[in-house]
Chains A and B, each alone.
Chain A
Amino acid sequence: QVQVVESGGGVFQPGGSLRLSCAASGFTFSVYGMHWLRQSPGKGPEWVAVIGHDGRNIYYTDSVKGRFTISRDNSKNTLYLQMISLRAEDTAVYYCARDFQVGKYLDYWGQGTLVTVSS
């Protein structure tokens, strides 16, 4: 069955950096666009970034432009999110999600990984 599993979360200092990973299985990873989203407690999901199936067509939400980088390795069925210059407001559960076949909806989500930015 389709599965996406995030890892790499933890507690990080403001100004620090980290890389999240998302391991995909149960589907042909290389033909799907993939997204990162995040969710703070009590809030709705916030879309962060998307990458096309071939690693092109990359877009970010404004608040992370220049700080976050989405990438993928189709040979390893893995999605990444490199995060630098962390801020307290980046604290959230980070989800990876598959792009639905009709585009820009999210049909499979992981369970998320918690990123806490605090000194």
Chain B
Amino acid sequence: EIVLTQSPATLSLSPGERATLSCRASQSVSSDLAWYQQKPGQAPRLLIYDASNRATGIPARFSGSGSGTDFTLTISSLEPEDFAVYYCQQRNNWPPLTFGGGTKVEIK
């Protein structure tokens, strides 16, 4: 089973700042990685798929990069609605599909 490790666990930033979130896989997942956003009491929302493709309706301030074992989600300039928990997920070696433990982006 592929283990995804996200860092940092918590990121404290102010609106307008740049957020950089990391996801590391225990073995190569090629580009088969997605990012999700989850707000309290809500289901996760797909942001990025295949490491760098934005899902429908996702603002351009969200971008993804990486391949192999190291991936990054960047939010170029944080909006108030971006404070949430972010998860990465791999589909390269399944079952099972696996998720990371999450990074919480909180207001500083």
CA distance in complex: A51, B34 (Å)? 20
CA distance in complex: A49, B15 (Å)? 38
CA distance in complex: A107, B98 (Å)? 15
- By a CB distance below 8 angstroms, the chain A residues around B43 are 95, 97, 109-112
- The reply to whether the CB of A43 lies closer than 8 angstroms to some CB of chain B is yes
B90 to chain A, nearest CB (A): 9
Which residues of chain A from 80 to 119 have a CB within 8 Å of any chain B CB? 95, 97, 100, 102-107, 109-112
CB pair A47–B42 under 8 Å, yes or no, is: no
With A43-B101, A44-B87, A105-B89 given, is the CB distance from A100 to B46 under 8 Å? Answer: yes
CB pair A62–B96 under 8 Å, yes or no, is: yes
CB pair B49–A109 under 8 Å, yes or no, is: no
B66 to chain A, nearest CB (A): 16
B94 to chain A, nearest CB (A): 6
Interface residues on B, range: 20 to 34
Interface residues on A, range: 20 to 34
- The reply to whether the CB of B82 lies closer than 8 angstroms to some CB of chain A is no
With A45-B44, A109-B43 given, is the CB distance from A104 to B97 under 8 Å? Answer: yes
CB pair B94–A106 under 8 Å, yes or no, is: no
Name B residues whose Cβ lies closer than 8 Å to a Cβ of A: 32, 34, 36, 42-46, 49-50, 55, 87, 89, 91, 94-102
| Pairs across A and B, CB under 8 Å, 16 listed | A35-B97, A44-B101, A45-B99, A47-B96, A47-B99, A50-B97, A100-B55, A102-B49, A102-B50, A104-B91, A105-B34, A105-B46, A106-B36, A109-B43, A110-B43, A111-B42
